[in-house]
Structure 1
């Protein structure tokens, strides 16, 4: 799909926004979520929009909510704080909202692919988990990606938490003790797999390889187009 080099957007009416690629994380001025890669930017005002936010259709449908019609809003409707039904995070900015059912989706969450492929394995977006999430250990509601073999599950919300913590460690110049603290609070992938598959070294190794690939492509899906550096660092955090 060819992107327009410049667009006009109602959220920033005074200047045109130009498309650019960045390898430095940014905060989208539309949805207020993290982003990297392709974005639309006003250099004069330091104003950034995710591609998904800048080019958001007025209405969308979603496979998980077949009876819903989601309408795009630049400010959340209603008086109270709204919560994204995909990741469980607050919705302070751009949102897709179904007035009939009350569901809300961040634009980037609404654009998450139903299937991801890292070249060796397929991962499928599911509405809720019947097996524990690798990071938090919980089942139940919350959008997640599950491997085709069903041995690896990861909540979208957990990936966002990893991104936020890793972003802080890398780009906000936290001291080494803080970085180590972040690392120790991320469960060990290898340790978890060993607990699940005691005495089965080959299966542990295979699960670790699957999980590492899963994390990278899920990060790619959430942020749109992350750099290999960020994906590798966050993958290293969770894989130790």
Structure 2
């Protein structure tokens, strides 16, 4: 049971690092999505400005044509009286026709360019939409992973907290009351209490009682407890990891 708890406790920092990396990846994906959307918006604004310019030019040409029609109506009323005006109007019509032809060619080029730009924007929008869908799915997956990791972290924290009393009790048991440190080469004496072998040697040089219960003891060496040193070593490692998690 103690080994399993140690494994869980040791994996908590790694899970925390993974959660941090996943959150950083999610933030980078959100920034990329925002840049793509800004680019698409800017392209759409430019396209709308071009369309508005074409519409304004078309309105001006319609007004010029209407003015020419009005002049023709006036000339038809009295040709002899307005002969000079007719000649001037014909010249104006020729100039206007040339201007209109040039404008038509320009508008045709602009329309073709606008159509090509619109198709490019549509393809860009489709690409942005595809990227958005991918980022949305990836963000959802990252969010789910973060939720799982947070739940696992909470579970590990609860498990460590539930074993806090046991760990502290075992740590206290593994301490020598003479030196107050974790025991090295533990030995048991006649009354059953356990101490460091070096602490016992030093104690019995000046005392004839147990350091803990003060029972009368013969100043002999304590009996080593086989295997307890290894248990205490593992306990020291587990206790250090537990302290790091707090």
Q: Answer whether TM exceeds 0.5 for this pair.
A: no
Q: TM-score range by the shorter chain?
A: under 0.3
- Larger CA Rg, structure 1 vs 2: 2
Q: Kindly indicate which of the two structures has a greater share of residues assigned to strand.
A: 1
Of structures 1 and 2, the one scoring higher in RCO (CA 8 A, sep 6+) is 2
If the length of structure 1 is used for normalisation, what is the TM-score?
0.20
If the length of structure 2 is used for normalisation, what is the TM-score?
0.19
Q: Kindly indicate which of the two structures has a greater share of residues assigned to helix.
A: 2
